[in-house]
Chains A and B, each alone.
Chain A
Amino acid sequence: MPATFSRSQIEAIASLAHLRLNEEEIELYARQLGEILEYANQVQNIDTAGVPPTASVAARSGADRSDTVHPSLDRAAVLGNAPDGSLEAGLFKVPRVIG
């Protein structure tokens, strides 16, 4: 388990997270992520053989509901929050993806 991060490792993580970092941030996070993970590594010393993971503490699933149509949010209000929304087309616009 690495307790230090190389520049290219930090860049790879940032790329997975769609996050651009400047030079200072790359250096800072290389150091700080290492420190935090070194501290977090203490969990490795705990014997968890046969222990099931806890992903949720929800009491029981209350998620089932009948599959019926309900009114949703107002389209104009939702598109009004978009940096580049087209009310006429009812779409969010993004930079060109295919050349």
Chain B
Amino acid sequence: MSQFATIREVRDAVRSGARSAVDVCREVLDRIETQNPRLNAFNTVTRDAALAQAATVDANPARASLPLAGVPVAYKDNLCTRGVRTTASSKILEQFVPPYDATAVARLEAAGAIMVGKANCDEFAMGSSTENSAFGPARNPWDIDRIPGGSSGGSAVAVAAGLAPLALGSDTGGSIRQPAALCGLVGLKPTYGRVSRYGLLAFASSLDQIGPFTRTVEDAAITLNVLAGHDPLDATSAQEAVPDFTASLGASGTSFRIGVPRALVDEGVDSSVSAAFNEALEAYKTAGATLVDITLPYASAAIPVYYLVATAEASSNLARYDGVRYGFRAKPEGGPGAQDDLRTMYGRSRELGFGAEVKRRIMLGTYVLSAGYYDAYYLKAQQVRTLIRRDYEQAFEQVDVVAMPTSPTPAFRIGERVADPLQMYLADVFTVSANLAGLPAISIPCGFTDDRLPIGLQLTGRMFDETTLLAAAHAYERQTAWWKAQPAL
């Protein structure tokens, strides 16, 4: 079995007895040991627990028949894993060991998946490059001098480099789709509420959603089948019925109506990305899809709206990291024997525990929520958010999915944008509106630059219509071979 085997291939091999789960797991762990010093995809590797877990799959025929039997999985390090350090790539949680599993983690484990480690990410999922990690940047396996995207960069690197056929990430403004695009993978952000967020360290609660990185659309559907569904532990998780997302793949033909917001995608996009995007649209047309010009008049305001809403929510969510219940507490300023007062302890713990981008967003969010500015910034942003939602509602009266590039550029060089946060924020220009509107969206491989850097195509679907979204993505994938390409390691 190739090191770039799909979830389905791994699972079927384990199910049929062609491979033991322990063998598969050991191979993956050995590759991680070889490759991780170079790629920095993992903050923590759970070798012993993984092998023990895999042995239970081999020993128990009932477990070996599960939908993810023996499938190694990497979890973004902001998903709580019982007994395994969960850091959010932050110094403030460097020693945090959760006493419970995130629901997404528990569901995958119950479906037979084997955790091999915790994946590097931007600190508290804030960033688009994985450079904002207290453990150093993750590196893109297609060119290790470049970023893998972010914030779920380590998860993307793990799958792209064959260190796991499946990884979970979280997507608040593009943090699954953008790294998937930049690493040549499938990345799915389900509808807001489709997947329980219990045990996901909260960044912006009205935007956060958990989803998979996989090599194929079918693998994403297999994983969503396991992840989706109501969870009483997450009040925002939806009661919607969960269909079999694999059932419609290839079954509904290729006559999709695809909306293209021309005014938006013709501006500020790298020429190699534009070329690949337009070729993908042609491929859809050739296959029988109808392209429809649409307008999303308020989408150009999505970045400012996003950074006002997300930072406001983050400043509130991150108030909990204060050195009292968990995480880092700064030692008293005056040395041994001295005692800080409570406010000084809070302030110093947060000063030393948080990195620069997290502080910047807490500051911005605190400001936009503060008296006198709330209406002008936060309320205004929420009103424009309504207009962005309405844009999509109108578009979906005419089309089944909306197509855009995932990222306006291919992977940039490590260090290139760190000094200019605004430039970094613009990496999310095509991805944030799906979060603001709550819609499901997927990135799929659609080509390469001349330098052999992957390019992603993004499709956005109707609320809770992952079925059509995945079917449309699958229809394109089956006509192309981009997804089969692998980086030289």
> A: which residues have CB within 8 A of B?
1, 10, 13-14, 16-22, 25, 28-29, 32-33, 35-37, 39-44, 46, 48, 51-63, 65, 73-74, 77-78, 80-84, 92, 94-97
Write out the residue numbers on chain B whose beta carbons fall within 8 Å of the beta carbon of A92: 324-325
Pairs across A and B, CB under 8 Å, 22 listed: A13-B363, A13-B370, A17-B350, A19-B347, A19-B362, A33-B363, A33-B364, A39-B303, A39-B422, A40-B377, A42-B304, A48-B387, A54-B385, A55-B382, A57-B192, A61-B235, A62-B238, A62-B239, A65-B232, A80-B99, A83-B326, A92-B325
Q: In whole angstroms, how far apart are the Cα atoms of A40 and B366 in the complex?
A: 15
Asked whether B298 is an interface residue with its Cβ less than 8 Å from the other chain, the reply is yes
Contact A81 B363 (CB under 8 A): no
Q: Which of B318-348 contact A (CB under 8 A)?
A: 319, 322-329, 332, 339-348
Q: How many residue pairs bridge A and B at CB < 8 Å?
A: 183
Task: Give chain B nearest CB distance to A50 CB in angstroms.
Answer: 9
Across the interface, which residues of B come within 8 angstroms of A25, CB to CB? 356, 359
CA distance A28 to B418 in the complex (A): 13
User: Which of the residues A39, A48, A59, A74 comes within 8 Å of B383, measured between beta carbons?
Assistant: A48
Task: For residue B64, give the distance in angstroms from its CB to the closest CB of chain A.
Answer: 31
Count residues of chain B with CB under 8 A from any CB of chain A: 77
Q: Is the beta-carbon distance between A82 and B305 smaller than 8 angstroms?
A: no
Verify B421–A36 contact, CB threshold 8 A.
yes
Which residue from B364, B383, B437 sits with its C-beta under 8 Å from A53? B383
Residues of B within 8 A of A44 (CB): 376, 380
Measured between beta carbons, the chain A residues less than 8 angstroms from B305 are: 43
* Contact with B326, one of A35, A54, A81 (Cβ below 8 angstroms): A81
Complex CA–CA separation, A18 to B370 (angstroms): 14
| Interface residues of chain A: helix, strand, loop or mixed (majority) | loop
- Assess the A19–B351 pair: CB atoms within 8 A: yes
A62 and B236 contact, CB distance less than 8 A: yes
Give the residue among A61, A62, A73, A97 with the most B Cβ atoms within 10 A: A62
Is there a chain A Cβ closer than 8 Å to B360's Cβ?
yes
A81–B96 CA distance with the chains assembled, in angstroms? 6
Q: Which of A37, A39, A51, A96 is close to B387, meaning CB atoms less than 8 Å apart?
A: A51
Q: A35-B422, A54-B382 are in contact. Are A97 and B342 (CB under 8 A)?
A: yes
**Which 5 pairs between the two chains have the least Cβ-Cβ distance?**
A57-B438, A53-B382, A83-B329, A77-B99, A48-B383
Q: Does B290 contact A (CB under 8 A)?
A: no
Complex interface: chain B residues within 8 A of A96 (CB): 339, 341-342
A19, A33, A81, A83: the one within 8 Å of B350 (CB): A19
**Is there contact, CB below 8 Å, between A83 and B324?**
yes
